[in-house]
């Protein structure tokens, strides 16, 4: 994999030419940025910018004014290769608060394992309705300490309105959900993206996370996507590297609350 070529494709397809990530969202290109505007429970923020030292502060201020005027918390999704170099400091000076850094990782779907190998006591349940989404919410709370029901609301909207763009599964130990993950597919691009992969602490280290990656890689291959992309935490990065994902950059969410 040529890192520079793949990163350029990611920036172009997933950031500059991004489509709304849900039926209620819209993408706007204004004042050197590409932003998504969604409902209260959706994702709102800046996904790409083309700024320099002379334009950055004005563009940041314009986005703060805009999202404040519509009463939305929003995120400036900053990547390590974004310019200008001092953009992180400018965002903090404008009142943005950074969340933990993640690693942008990408793998060729054809290089990934697609055989789903699970412990004997575990079965995978594809998520196709509200009951499955509730199980995903339960797992998210076990794995990360927060339920984030707004993610599940957005997932259900996508499932109802654009079912070919999402896929998800919950790993069940009997009737107990112990791990879950979802994937978003982006029509018109070469990329599908992995989200929400998490396992309850007592069930980690048994290969369930790896099996959920394989489950989603198989679907991506069947749908004709070339790359899988993930914003990896420090916890998941070593697993993903062993599976064949490579780091291309890092990304930090900068949050602004009106």
For the chain, give every domain's residue range: 3-104, 108-249
CATH code for the domain defined by 108-249: 3.40.630.30
Tell me the C-alpha distance between 53 and 250, whole Å. Answer: 21
* pLDDT over 70, % of the chain: 100
Q: Which residue has the tokens 């990530």?
A: 21
Q: How many CB atoms lie within 10 A of CB 51?
A: 19
Q: How many CB atoms lie within 10 A of CB 55?
A: 15
Q: Identify the band that residue 117 occupies on the pLDDT scale cut at 50, 70 and 90.
A: very high
Give the pTM.
0.93
Residue 55 has pLDDT above 80, yes or no: yes
Q: Identify the band that residue 229 occupies on the pLDDT scale cut at 50, 70 and 90.
A: very high
**Nearest CA-CA partner of 47 in 191, 256, 251, 246:** 251
* Three-state SS sequence of the chain: CCHHHHHHHHHHHHHHCCCCCCCCCEEEEECCEEEEECCCCCCCEEEEECCCCCCHHHHHHHHHHHHHHCCCCEEEEEECCCCCCCHHHHHHHCCCEECCCEEEEEEEHHHCCCCCCCCCCEEEEECCCHHHHHHHHHHHHHHHCCCCHHHHHHHHHHHHHCHHHEEEEEEEECCEEEEEEEEEECCCCCEEEEEEEEECHHHCCCCHHHHHHHHHHHHHHHCCCCEEEEEECCCCHHHHHHHCCEEEEEEEEEEECC
Tell me the C-alpha distance between 146 and 241, whole Å. Answer: 26
Q: Kindly state the tokens that stand for 151.
A: 């993610």
- 135-179 per-position pLDDT tens digit: 999 998 888 888 777 778 888 888 999 999 999 999 999 999 999
Per-chain mean pLDDT for the chain: 95
């Amino acid at each position: 994999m040529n890192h520079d070529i793949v990163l350029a494709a990611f920036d172009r397809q997933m950031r500059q030419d991004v489509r709304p990530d849900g039926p209620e969202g819209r993408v706007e290109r204004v004042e050197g940025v590409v932003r998504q505007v969604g409902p209260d429970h959706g994702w709102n923020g800046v996904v790409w910018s083309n700024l320099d030292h002379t334009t950055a502060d004005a563009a940041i201020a314009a986005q703060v004014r805009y999202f404040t005027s519509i009463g939305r918390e929003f995120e400036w999704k900053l990547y390590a290769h974004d310019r200008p170099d001092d953009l992180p400091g400018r965002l903090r000076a404008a009142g943005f608060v950074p969340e933990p850094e993640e690693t942008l990782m990408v793998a060729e779907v054809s290089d990934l394992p697609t055989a789903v190998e699970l412990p004997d006591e575990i079965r995978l349940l594809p998520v196709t309705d509200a009951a499955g989404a509730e199980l995903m919410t339960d797992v998210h709370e076990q794995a990360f300490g927060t339920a984030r029901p707004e993610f599940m609301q957005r997932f259900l909207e996508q499932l109802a309105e654009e079912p070919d763009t999402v896929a998800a599964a919950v790993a069940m130990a009997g009737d107990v959900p112990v791990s879950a993950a979802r994937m978003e597919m982006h029509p018109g691009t070469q990329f599908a993206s992995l989200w929400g992969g998490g396992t309850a602490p007592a069930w980690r280290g048994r290969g369930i996370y790896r099996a959920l990656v394989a489950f989603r890689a198989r679907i991506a291959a069947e749908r004709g996507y070339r790359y899988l992309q993930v914003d990896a935490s420090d916890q998941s990065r070593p697993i993903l590297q062993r599976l064949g994902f490579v780091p291309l950059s890092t990304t930090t969410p900068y949050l602004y609350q009106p």
